[in-house]
Chains A and B, each alone.
Chain A
Amino acid sequence: MRIKRPLLWISGWLLTSLPCIVWAQEAAAGAGASTGAARWGYIGAALAVGASSLGAGIAVGMVGSAAMGAVSERPEMAGRALIFLGLAEGIAIYGLIVAIMILGKL
């Protein structure tokens, strides 16, 4: 079980980030940008979105489960729990903004 869990995490990360890299490379080829800098830029943008979405997913999973625990006992806390869920979700948006900034430079 101890060996399986890190493997699960690594394979999850690879499954999420590899397609992003591939798509970034395809986009770079499609746009006709053959320079190395542009390729790395697309890869960086893809990684920013992919990794931040993964991070946001983990954060929402944890904050969401904690929110469920608290709300199940004190329903009046639902509003406050949603704020924290929103903060966790914000991580993905930061990644998206960074990706847009990278793409804007290319």
Chain B
Amino acid sequence: MILAVARYAYPNAKVRALRSRRLTAQDRHFLLEARDFSSFLAYLATTPYGRVLPDLEGEVPDPGVLERRLARSLMEDYAKVARSLRGKREQELVLALFSRFESENLKVLLRALFSGLGKQAVSHLLYPLGKLSALPWDDLWACNNPAEVADLLIRNPFGQALKHAIPQFNVQGRLFPLEMALDLSCFQRLKQAISGLRSRSDRKAAKRILGPYVDMLNISWVIRLKIHYGLSHEEIVNYSLPGGELLTLSNLHRLARAEDISKFMEQIPRSLQREIGEVREWEDFYPYLETWLLRLLARFFAGPPFHIGIEICFLLEKEMELTSLITLLEAKAQGLSPDKTVKKLPRQFSEVAHV
């Protein structure tokens, strides 16, 4: 216990100080109720996110550009949390979580190569990763095709995953296998990082947080691959992420086979069903799942403090706040009403937004 206190006193205090910079109930209310996009941005500039926004005087910036600018705040927090942890294995867990953003940038790079575009054309889609990313980005942008990217990253898990997926990419002539390979390699690394943690309480906490997170992603991926991509149930299960807690492989098979939303709901484990409640539309699933996960993360902050779970909870919570903010930003840019917007957000965002 005393060793855990010594190990986590500094990072936990830092994380709690960083967490105090979340959007307040008042911020959420005024952002949700903003008349238009420019008044939304004017209010956003007064929140802790104002620091990363570009100069708002003059032309209203493009929402796409703003999304990545807002992500800078999350990337900075990742760097701070990773630096604050003492053990290499604990840092590896944060870096494994961070590798999801590296993978997103690699996907943008692959799409740019595939479409014959340069870095300048897609730079607004890239996450500002900063110094935390150890990938050779300049060399990667100098590559001419995905095979060269795989060769350059061969010593990295991304390179290995890409190398295995290149034959499928060549046969199918689309980037989907490469993109899935990148995602799967991130979560494989995450699973390894969890099992590599030194203390049992750290491993337990990390599993209890990241397991449900992976479940949430698996459910939303099943919906996406089934409804939007029309993949067969075998393919959907093949692309499911490792490391979930509630969903077993047979659960995923049944979810992928479900014909309609009511049958899909029946296949979700009962404990999760109770938490997410009644869902009637496919697009409602994600906000409901986010609500469930946010509730779970909040419970961790009220529990015993000295384990890696606090850092992971903070990073996931911040990421979900950013996702909600981006959803709100897009809704405001499209001129959606607050009533319609609130349905796309986790319940926590609207529940406390009445000031």
Contact = CB atoms under 8 A, between A and B. Distances in A.
Contacts of A61: 6
B14 A69 contact: yes
A10 to B, nearest CB: 13
Interface in A50-89: 58, 61-63, 65-70, 72-74, 77
A70 B15 CA distance: 8
B185 interface: no
| Interface majority SS (helix, strand, loop, mixed), chain A | helix
B17 interface: yes
B212 interface: no
Given A5-B3, A58-B2, A65 B20 contact: no
A37 to B, nearest CB: 34
Contact of B84 (A62, A69, A77): A69
Contacts of A67: 13
B174 to A, nearest CB: 44
A70 B2 contact: no
B10 interface: yes
Nearest to B84: A69
Contact of A62 (B5, B11, B18, B20): B5
A77 B17 contact: yes
Sorted nearest first, the 6 A-B pairs with minimum C-beta distance are: A69-B13, A73-B17, A69-B14, A66-B13, A66-B9, A65-B10
Contact of B17 (A5, A62, A69): A69
A53 B70 CA distance: 47
B9 A65 contact: yes
B6 A70 contact: no
Contact of B9 (A5, A63, A72): A63
7 contacts: A62-B9, A69-B13, A69-B17, A69-B84, A70-B16, A70-B17, A74-B17
B12 interface: yes
